Amino acid sequence: MKEKLVLIGNGMAGMRTIEELLAIAPDKYDITVFGAEPHGNYNRIMLSPVLAGEKTIAEIMINDLDWYAKNNVRLHAGKEVVEIHRTRREVRTADGTVEHYDRLLLATGSNPFILPVPGNQLPGVIGFRDIKDVETMLAAAQPGRHAVVIGGGLLGLEAANGLMKHGMQCTVVHLGDVLMERQLDPVAAGLLRASLEERGMRFLLGAQTAAILGEDKVRGVRFKDGLEVPADLVVMAVGIRPNTDLAKQAGIHTERGIVVNDTMQTYDPRVYAVGECVQHRGICYGLVAPLWEQAKVCANHLAQFGIGRYQGSVTSTKLKVTGIDLFSAGNFNGSADCEEIVLRDPARGVYKKLVVRDNRIQGAVMYGDTVDGAWYFQLLREGTDISDFRETVLFGHAHMADAGREGSSVMSMSDDAEICGCNGVCKGTIVKAITEKKLFTLDDVRAHTKASASCGSCTGLVEQILAATVGTIGKTPAEKPMCKCTEHSHDVVRTAIRERHLTSLRAVFDTLDWKTPDGCHSCRPALNYYLIATWPGEAQDDQRSRFINERVHANIQKDGTYSVVPRMWGGLTTPDELRAIADVADKYQIPTVKVTGGQRIDLLGVKKDDLPRVWADLNAAGMVSGHAYGKSLRTVKTCVGSDWCRFGTQDSTGLGVKLEKMTWGSWTPHKFKMAVSGCPRNCAEATIKDFGVICVDSGYELHVGGNGGIKIRGTDLLCKLATEEEVKEFCGAFMQLYREEARYLERTAPWIERVGLSYVKSKIVEDEEGRKALYARFLASQQFAQIDPWAERASGGVDAHEFEPLAAIN
């Protein structure tokens, strides 16, 4: 027989708990819900659009009456519980209805605070809390009549806006000097006030209400300084108080709210509580996101899973006040030990302020442009050090992505980053719904996740996630499963290879329960790289898990022929090498010979059958593969440096040759390019390479993380060194750190954006012992580098399987 769960309060927090409970333990309880209002569960946040005529009551319903019937939830709508008898475990309503419970959930919400002034009971004086209040305001709203709204917070401004849309003249009265002081700093509040005054809203700030005037109904408001203003309607929106009356009557411990522990239990272990009526660790919450977190924890414990704790919430507020976007989080007013980073653009109506201490965001406030609010909130909550991108942080994600910082898009945010505060929907939930249910429109996302279905202030972020996810359906985001063959991510697989000492594809497939016996064209190349990079010399390099270009050491072209690029160390060559290249071009009738951007010579149009012989002839002349096709070192571009150039400060060509000979032949997560420029004029373009060296009079500047591709990204300065030997050590250590920690097919640019330049510096520059260990591992791995790819095959020909591509790896 099922246990009986009774919920008192048919609002958002209580019903969210029921929804969560039904999702994880649908058969655990016989559920009964008591609601004082004669409606289903509706979105209280959306009462303002109903007042403004933008939505109907039906459109803000979260759970209509049919939902309760379909989910076998008994609803007593319009029945107010007046007594809880904990000994008999019963609740009783005003009409005498009695219900027994095994578990009781209190979600009694809060009550609007009505100022204790003369006249506060007059007809025409109301709060703004439920559907009945909205209906009263709509009935009273007539063109030309006067309304006074007491309270300059969110609810007060929204009430005034809604009444103005019905033709009323509205005056907003606020005790403080700053509107919405809990959400905005004085600058943002001033911008908001100016905008609302342009629309006809009137304000009395610093005004203290003394009395409501009238006999049979309200006719005006008098203030402490003697000023009187006419009023046909007075709306009090001065705050809320937790509704603890029932709990107190039942002897449940209360202070400001109903006191609960981290599992949302009251002092009576059979009684739980969630929502605005609750006090947790001394704090009462009035925002939706904390209530959703409470609901999830409470449902988990009602289901008797025994896991999950509510430890309080770091809150942010993202609002749309009369069409104006606002965002705030944390300590946005700052303190003596904080700094402020401010952007203000009056022409666009944009204001952003970040409060920073020790290069970590402590608070944020935004007006007019809030699209990056979720990102700032994530940086605040995670305590991210912003020193690496402090100069651009105010310009947001879009600016950083445009600058080539691919890790800075909305998709780089963690899955638990909250996107929709109204409904407590995180990024991961949205991405999962889009991917699994194949959603392609904003309306689809709203229907399945409720994100953007309420106030609409998160619509821009949801649209960004939709566009990015739809564009990657079928691909392999780095933080998601590697492919359809496994549930494991790249990071999880790589950790398993290292910690379980896996040295073959078969060991990975067996140990990690691969769904497909032999993997696929997506996971095999990645796994092969992770194996040989983790266990060089021990793991077998599986040639059949390589793309065709890597297996035949040439780039396939659109006509089916191949491009062969022999290596020229640092861009240097000799007459003998040039003769060998010319002879090969003549002998095999290669139609195009081209100088590449990496200072080498490309032989284009080589027939597939000729590839072994072409390489045999080039090997005989001492030339090896330039790996122009590989996920490996491609080139080391150099200028002539101090040997010839009148501006050269060091031997850049010689250093480039040493770096190339040290690093070539080893595989990396993606292509890796280097350059050495002989002076700050940077002719070798070192500042758009994965690893770049700029020679200066005193030594060498090292630059990392550049990208000259579709999205150009300039390098970050790693450090300055004095000797060539140091440059070689730092280069090898950096390359090894990238090889060991980046994900397959992740360039150094997004890798550094993901882990942070400070992290790379901590490993390479600040930790000398760790750097030397990385360098030693790099040099050790080079013993097994692919030094002479065709030497063993030149004499006896090439096995046919070398040219038989694994399905789709062609």
- In angstroms, the CA 638 to CA 728 distance is 15
Q: Coil, helix or strand for 197?
A: helix
pLDDT one-digit tens code per residue, 17-55: 999 999 999 999 999 999 999 999 999 988 988 998 888
Global pTM? 0.59
Q: Which residues contact 749 (CB under 8 A, 6 or more apart)?
A: 404, 405, 406, 690, 705, 706, 707, 713
746: left (phi over 0), alpha (psi -120 to 50) or beta: beta
Residue among 37, 30, 103 nearest 73 (CA): 30
CB-count exposure of residue 176 (10 Å: 0-12, 13-18, 19+) = middle
* Alpha-carbon torsion angle 280, 284, 289, 290, nearest 10: 0
Is residue 314 within 8 A of residue 380, CB to CB? The reply is yes
Q: Which of 175-189, 428-442, 625-639, 711-725 has the lowest mean pLDDT?
A: 428-442
Side-chain-side CA neighbours of 104 within 13 Å: the count stands at 28
**What secondary structure, in 3-state letters, does 114-143 show?**
CCCCCCCCCCCEECCCCHHHHHHHHHHCCC
Percentage helix, strand, coil, to 5, in the chain?
35, 25, 40
Query: Does residue 338 have a known ligand-binding role?
Result: no
Q: What's the pLDDT at 410? A: 64
Query: Does residue 170 have a known ligand-binding role?
Result: no
Query: What is the arithmetic mean of pLDDT over 454-480?
Result: 64
Q: What's the pLDDT at 547? A: 80
Q: Which of 742-756, 764-778, 782-796 has the lowest mean pLDDT?
A: 782-796
- Number of other CB atoms surrounding residue 369 within 10 Å: 18
Structural Rg of the chain based on CA atoms: 34
- The position carrying tokens 């949302």 is 264
Query: What is the arithmetic mean of pLDDT over 133-147?
Result: 91
Query: Does residue 284 have a known ligand-binding role?
Result: no
Pairing of strands 672-677, 691-696: parallel
Q: Coil, helix or strand for 489?
A: strand
Q: Is the pLDDT of residue 586 over 50?
A: yes
Query: What is the arithmetic mean of pLDDT over 260-267?
Result: 96
Q: Which of 408-412, 583-587, 697-701, 791-795 has the lowest mean pLDDT?
A: 791-795
Query: What is the arithmetic mean of pLDDT over 567-572?
Result: 90
Question: For the chain, what is the mean pLDDT?
Answer: 88
Q: Is the pLDDT of residue 472 over 60?
A: no
342 sits in which H/E element: strand 339-345
Q: What's the pLDDT at 810? A: 37
Q: What are phi and psi of 139, to 5 degrees?
A: -70, -35
Is residue 695 within 8 A of residue 641, CB to CB? The reply is yes
Please, which residues bridge with residue 693 across strands?
Answer: 676, 702
Is residue 607 within 8 A of residue 556, CB to CB? The reply is no
- Quickly state the pLDDT bin for 406 (edges 50, 70, 90): very low
Q: Is the pLDDT of residue 284 over 90?
A: yes
- In angstroms, the CA 120 to CA 291 distance is 31
- In angstroms, the CA 361 to CA 349 distance is 23
Q: Which CATH code fits 409-475?
A: 1.10.10.1100
DSSP string over 253-294: -BSSSEEE-TTSB-SSTTEEE-STTEEETTB---SHHHHHHH
pLDDT one-digit tens code per residue, 681-691: 999 999 999 99
CB-count exposure of residue 797 (10 Å: 0-12, 13-18, 19+) = exposed
Q: Which residues contact 326 (CB under 8 A, 6 or more apart)?
A: 180, 183, 184, 188, 192, 317, 318, 319, 320, 366, 367, 370
Task: Measure Cα distances from 625 to 146, 568, 664, 792, 796 in Å.
Answer: 84, 9, 10, 14, 19
Q: Which of 2-16, 181-195, 226-240, 391-405 has the lowest mean pLDDT?
A: 391-405
Q: Which residues contact 176 (CB under 8 A, 6 or more apart)?
A: 152, 205, 206
Pairing of strands 691-696, 699-704: antiparallel
- In angstroms, the CA 322 to CA 601 distance is 64
Q: What's the pLDDT at 412? A: 61
Q: Where are the domains of the chain?
A: 3-110+242-302, 125-238, 409-475, 490-545, 633-784
Which residue would you say has higher pLDDT here, 552 or 125? Answer: 125
Is residue 350 within 8 A of residue 344, CB to CB? The reply is yes
Q: What's the pLDDT at 797? A: 37
- Quickly state the pLDDT bin for 388 (edges 50, 70, 90): confident
Q: What's the pLDDT at 473? A: 45
- Quickly state the pLDDT bin for 474 (edges 50, 70, 90): very low
Q: Which of 113-127, 232-246, 580-594, 617-631 has the lowest mean pLDDT?
A: 617-631
Q: Which CATH code fits 633-784?
A: 3.30.413.10
Residue among 550, 548, 689, 523 nearest 625 (CA): 550
627: left (phi over 0), alpha (psi -120 to 50) or beta: left
- In angstroms, the CA 653 to CA 570 distance is 6
Q: What's the pLDDT at 798? A: 37
Q: What are phi and psi of 13, to 5 degrees?
A: -70, -45
Q: What's the pLDDT at 613? A: 92
Q: Which residues contact 420 (CB under 8 A, 6 or more apart)?
A: 449, 450, 451, 452, 453, 454, 458, 462
Fold that domain 125-238 belongs to in CATH: FAD/NAD(P)-binding domain (3.50.50)
Q: What's the pLDDT at 709? A: 74
Q: What's the pLDDT at 790? A: 47
Q: What's the pLDDT at 666? A: 82
Does the fold of domain 633-784 match that of domain 125-238? no
- Quickly state the pLDDT bin for 487 (edges 50, 70, 90): confident
Q: Is the pLDDT of residue 218 over 60?
A: yes
Q: What's the pLDDT at 786? A: 61
- In angstroms, the CA 430 to CA 439 distance is 10
- In angstroms, the CA 116 to CA 587 distance is 101
* Alpha-carbon torsion angle 62, 67, 71, 72, nearest 10: 120
* Percent of the chain whose predicted confidence (pLDDT) is above 90: 61
Q: What's the pLDDT at 100? A: 97
Query: What is the arithmetic mean of pLDDT over 462-484?
Result: 65
Is residue 143 within 8 A of residue 163, CB to CB? The reply is no
* Alpha-carbon torsion angle 68, 72, 73, 74, nearest 10: 100
Type of residue numbered 519:
G
Q: What's the pLDDT at 401? A: 46
* Percent of the chain whose predicted confidence (pLDDT) is above 70: 92
Q: Is the pLDDT of residue 766 over 90?
A: yes
Residue among 731, 752, 728, 729 nearest 742 (CA): 752
Q: Is the pLDDT of residue 621 over 50?
A: yes
Please, which residues bridge with residue 90 across strands?
Answer: 85, 100
Query: What is the arithmetic mean of pLDDT over 708-723?
Result: 88
- Quickly state the pLDDT bin for 452 (edges 50, 70, 90): confident
Is residue 317 within 8 A of residue 327, CB to CB? The reply is yes
CA 4 centroid distance within chain: 40
- Quickly state the pLDDT bin for 478 (edges 50, 70, 90): very low
Q: What's the pLDDT at 459? A: 76
Is residue 373 within 8 A of residue 318, CB to CB? The reply is yes
Q: Which CATH code fits 3-110+242-302?
A: 3.50.50.60
Q: Is the pLDDT of residue 370 over 90?
A: no
672 sits in which H/E element: strand 672-677
Query: Does residue 731 have a known ligand-binding role?
Result: no
